[in-house]
Amino acid sequence: MYRAPVADIVFTLNHVAGLSEATENGTFGDLSGDLVEAILTEAGRFASEEVAPLAEIGDRQGARLADGAVRLADGWADLYRRWSAGGWNGLTAPEAFGGQGLPHMLNVAAFEMWNSASMAFAIGPTLTVGAIEALEAHGSQALKDTYLARLVSGEWTATMNLTEPHAGSDLGVMKTRAVPEGDGTYRIFGQKIFITWGEHDAAENIVHLVLARLPDAPAGTRGISLFLVPKFFVNADGTLGARNDLFCHSLEHKLGIHGSPTCTMIYGDGRFGSEKGAVGWLIGEENKGLNCMFTMMNNARLMVGMQGVAIAEAATQKAVQYARDRTQGKAPGWRGEGMSPIIEHPDVTRMLLTMKVLTQGARAIAYSCAHAGDRAHHAQGETARHWQERSALLTPIAKAFSTDVGVDVASLGVQVHGGMGFIEETGAARLLRDARIAPIYEGTNGIQAIDLVTRKLPLSGGDHVRGFIGELKAISADVRASNHPAFGETAGRLDVAIADLETATDWLLSHQKDGDLAGALSGATAYLRLFGLVLTTAYLAKGGLAAVDNGGTDKRVALCRFSAENLLAETLALKDRVLNGADSLAAARSILD
Amino acid sequence: MYRAPVADIVFTLNHVAGLSEATENGTFGDLSGDLVEAILTEAGRFASEEVAPLAEIGDRQGARLADGAVRLADGWADLYRRWSAGGWNGLTAPEAFGGQGLPHMLNVAAFEMWNSASMAFAIGPTLTVGAIEALEAHGSQALKDTYLARLVSGEWTATMNLTEPHAGSDLGVMKTRAVPEGDGTYRIFGQKIFITWGEHDAAENIVHLVLARLPDAPAGTRGISLFLVPKFFVNADGTLGARNDLFCHSLEHKLGIHGSPTCTMIYGDGRFGSEKGAVGWLIGEENKGLNCMFTMMNNARLMVGMQGVAIAEAATQKAVQYARDRTQGKAPGWRGEGMSPIIEHPDVTRMLLTMKVLTQGARAIAYSCAHAGDRAHHAQGETARHWQERSALLTPIAKAFSTDVGVDVASLGVQVHGGMGFIEETGAARLLRDARIAPIYEGTNGIQAIDLVTRKLPLSGGDHVRGFIGELKAISADVRASNHPAFGETAGRLDVAIADLETATDWLLSHQKDGDLAGALSGATAYLRLFGLVLTTAYLAKGGLAAVDNGGTDKRVALCRFSAENLLAETLALKDRVLNGADSLAAARSILD
């Protein structure tokens, strides 16, 4: 059973992402390290003791649709209400609407734990948190006054309605229509698919944020507007009124996250309401809907990245426990009686250490990304811009690298369990099934790689990424200067890998400048992984140095060394693919016809 | 829907594995290329048109247990009977018992297609084919006369009973008992788990091959004997008699291959039969049961490797088709109207080409392994030994590399489908679920790597693998000599990768000689993948050269070049892990405590 790794999480926040320095400097007001630890300890308790025990039944029962109503798995609606009653939904929400206004990284850390305990459960609130953010940034005061407090408390939940059957990665071709009524409201007509928690029985009301196209709107993504479309109208006194003209038409039968209802939503077909058309209110300006969505996109992508971290953590814990308990054969050098625990077999040790490295690396990247966002939020001018750029640069890596890690680590977890890993009751297979969606939704990992290469590397003319690479070199220099023998070859290998990153970065920037977009895109995925691997070892090194400074054991250093000496050399192949892979890719394209 | 790639299969058999040379030389008697093509064309038709359409219902319904009887999914029992009536079960079985006595590689190729169409279906006959082999090699004449013809025809099926709850990879600790009755029979008592097709409704009788321990047998693997234990006794006239004392206690609830009943079998608890104890007959000698099993182990491992190839092929076909049809966004350079098919986006092209390369590489390795076995079977003396060693060397690679490829390619296939990939009705997710067992059963891939490093590299004192590496160098030299520009940098890159393989091979041989077993085992999995990647490009090059010689298009050459310039550079990192990874692995072991 999952146990929230609160100590690891707090350590990474403080000593890798930079929270302890920020709290000591008063960057986040009177937020103290003690408070952070207290909050996360309680979140860890709730995740381990309350959420995790209901994960399996959610997977087994899924969500069930009958007569347009969706029932979550047994115990889930109550679990959600206890969770929101605990105040977890409003951790970082504005205090004016009942939230606690804490830095976002606390939410990110807490959501790691909710997702480790049950990704299908955590994905629901993830959407609500995103909607709060969009509404706060772009909603009218009237909309905020009507909806925000109930969303912050979690009494109501929210959804994001983007995808249509023919409009997924490319939202420009969506067809859902919004017709102005002349009274400030709009009538929405259309079908949206893949709507997470689009209908369920855990909250009194569901607030849908829906992208739609106004009459005569410009073609493409510049003609999309964002609307708030509640399931139930809200009366002036805050009570719920009539039902709006929208409903859940069907639920998807998915590979994983069975507990999460993935809905096809129909707006405006006249099933509900006195007049045909779902009534919605504009959020932000007409035709600027994608801008509003982008406000929360970065955080949403980071939150999905956390799902990768979360699954990896849960899978690692499970596999380590099994490998300690299961005995089979005799490992080299085993002197105990009978068979050795399989954890002693070098190949099993290798799998488990690989899982640990990737999990901790992905966590460090995601928390550093969250921290950058928080710093940007609490800064001005150049400093704010620096942290905004850091957050923007790290977001696609936090999303894509971490979710690939989630799948890879969950798959290794199945392998460690041997035949039992293939049996559903063991639970390792569920983690793999759940993990598999994260590289797809919220922008596929291929799209993240394109974003990294074409939009993030050019920030400040390439100076931001170059400055970041300089910081990584400094970490390597610190490792060398520490003279700590347990780091082994870390410094030298990190230098080589950072040089690979630098070369690949320069190549991508210069090729884009020269108009070779296809060339740059051919190696984008390889580049993103290269960046993720370098950050993994660099951040493990940063953590290792901090642990040694704090008089800790060498465990973090040993893991860093394993990362450097067993996993980091892949960067050379990845750099090679960036620099030299495009021509053979283009030449072979036609064999697919 | 899957279409059997018969032309690709026949090409690989003929020009990569070496079948056309062997048939021209008369190595396999009067077997002609035309006959090979005719058989595989018909197998392809049956797989595509008869088996594939029933895959989905098998996945959805699974196998159902009621009152000790197992019912396969709707239509499956009939499908099995039509399949065996077509003679497919006896393709390579001895002619004396009704088989067709064809080279094993034909069966391997046919089983690729059965598995692509439905892995859950094909796994049943795979077990029967293995049992026929064991019985033919080790069974008494009486047992052969009673059982072989019906197993060859497929009227009866067979199982292998090895695993017990505490005895998986380590069979030495199994507890199932066999008590001699003094009349040539034995009574079997015990529980076996993970028994594939242990009970079902597609055949009149099921013949269980069961490993058990005799009273006073030596401890460990040297005290295990093999028994034939039929579900129904066979009367002297060949009709079926009474039920034996064995039954299926439960079915596993698995991640994939739902259509295949995975049974817990109980022997000798008195539920059936007049006297307690399942009646069995010894196969081979007492306490030599594992030797008998090893007879079929190599082929069984190759057959599981084929499952990896098969899933990869099916996943690739599905993804290519989707990527041609699905339009989204505009790829660089797209001049068509509206959105481009996603196949035009470089990152999607990359995924599809990677899938193609890995599928064709894994196929070439598996067929080459099968061919080596056939050559050994039809040769004498030194020649036979050469081919036996080649078959032995390639088997763990064919099993582990190909099944890892199956999982990786199926996962890429899900990714290409985007959100639809996560929806079960699409079918891409099923392939990933099915694929995930293959790296586990029939010896985990970690065990294959240990086998490769500790048992196969030392064959002929290391001379066999060195000779093989020499052959690979010759392929690279042929590429260079061809001067074909479409090969790009293939020759140079292949030389480097082969040198990596050679260095890693020498290191593993010398470190084992020096007693550093833990060091050798730490890098075994990396080494196996290194070998597989080198073989992939080398065999694609061999195929490319043959295609050019035969006046074919450059398609095979272009794919080979993509392999060399995009995937092969990983060998450097893998070699590095073999040579330099063990120390940091050992140093970090304790952090898992």
Tally Cβ neighbours within 10 Å of residue A291: 17
Is residue B443 very low, low, confident or very high in pLDDT (cuts 50, 70, 90)?
Answer: very high
Q: What is the C-alpha to C-alpha distance for residues A233 and B214, in angstroms, rounded to an integer?
A: 76
Whole-number pLDDT of residue B274: 75
* Residue A285 confidence (pLDDT) above 90: yes
Confirm if B401 and A379 have CB atoms less than 8 A apart: no
Q: Which amino acid is at A338?
A: G
Give me the residue label for tokens 């309680």. A42
Confirm if A157 and A127 have CB atoms less than 8 A apart: yes
**Pairing mode, if any, of strands A64-66 and B156-161?**
unpaired
Q: What is the C-alpha to C-alpha distance for residues B24 and B379, in angstroms, rounded to an integer?
A: 16
Q: Which amino acid is at A121?
A: F
**Interval B389-398 mean pLDDT:** 98
Per the DSSP assignment, residues forming a β-bridge with A580 are: none
pLDDT tens digits, B216-264:
999 999 999 999 999 999 999 999 999 999 999 999 999 999 999 999 9
Whole-number pLDDT of residue A68: 86
Element at B583 (helix H, strand E): helix B582-588
Tokens of A191: 């079908």
Cβ pair A353:B517 closer than 8 A: no
Ramachandran category for residue A127: left, alpha or beta (phi over 0 → left; psi -120 to 50 → alpha): alpha
Annotated active-site residue in B199, B389, B442, B502:
B442
**Interval B474-484 mean pLDDT:** 97
Give me the residue label for tokens 């993504």. A221
Partner A contacted by B517 (CB < 8 A): yes
Give the closest-approach CA distance of B284 to chain A in angstroms.
26
Q: What is the C-alpha to C-alpha distance for residues A182 and B13, in angstroms, rounded to an integer?
A: 72
Chain A neighbors of B318, CB-CB under 8 A: none
Is residue A297 very low, low, confident or very high in pLDDT (cuts 50, 70, 90)?
Answer: confident
Cβ pair B418:A168 closer than 8 A: yes
SS3 at position B26: coil
Per the DSSP assignment, residues forming a β-bridge with B66 are: B69
Q: What is the C-alpha to C-alpha distance for residues A201 and A78, in angstroms, rounded to an integer?
A: 9
Whole-number pLDDT of residue B554: 84
Confirm if A210 and A27 have CB atoms less than 8 A apart: no
* Residue B552 confidence (pLDDT) above 80: no
Q: What is the C-alpha to C-alpha distance for residues A308 and A234, in angstroms, rounded to an integer?
A: 37
Partner B contacted by A222 (CB < 8 A): no
Nearest residue, CB atoms, A346 vs list B486, B522, B565: B522
Interface ipTM: 0.97
Give the closest-approach CA distance of B415 to chain A in angstroms.
7
pLDDT tens digits, A347-403:
999 999 999 999 999 999 999 999 999 999 999 999 999 999 999 999 999 999 999
**Interval A333-337 mean pLDDT:** 90
* Residue A227 confidence (pLDDT) above 90: yes
Nearest residue, CB atoms, B349 vs list A424, A429, A585: A585
Counts of helices then strands in chain A (DSSP H, E): 20, 12
Per the DSSP assignment, residues forming a β-bridge with A206 are: A157
Cβ pair A576:B569 closer than 8 A: yes
SS3 at position B94: coil
Is residue A189 very low, low, confident or very high in pLDDT (cuts 50, 70, 90)?
Answer: very high
Rg (CA), chain B: 24
Average pLDDT, chain B: 96
Q: What is the C-alpha to C-alpha distance for residues A421 and A407, in angstroms, rounded to an integer?
A: 14
Confirm if B503 and B579 have CB atoms less than 8 A apart: yes
- Nearest residue of A to residue B423, measured between CA atoms: A254
Confirm if A35 and A123 have CB atoms less than 8 A apart: no
φ and ψ at residue B2, rounded to 5 degrees: -60, 130
Tokens of B37: 């093509």
**Which of A490, A527, A560, A565 to mutate to probe the B interface, most B CBs <10 Å?**
A565
Q: What is the C-alpha to C-alpha distance for residues A338 and B76, in angstroms, rounded to an integer?
A: 44
* Residue B557 confidence (pLDDT) above 80: yes
pLDDT tens digits, B50-107:
999 999 999 999 999 998 899 999 999 999 999 999 999 999 999 999 999 999 999 9
* Residue A296 confidence (pLDDT) above 90: no
Tokens of A396: 């696609």
pLDDT tens digits, B282-334:
999 999 999 998 877 888 999 999 999 999 999 999 999 999 999 999 999 89
Active site residue B442: yes
Q: What is the C-alpha to C-alpha distance for residues B590 and B593, in angstroms, rounded to an integer?
A: 6
Question: Could you tell me the pTM of the whole model?
Answer: 0.98
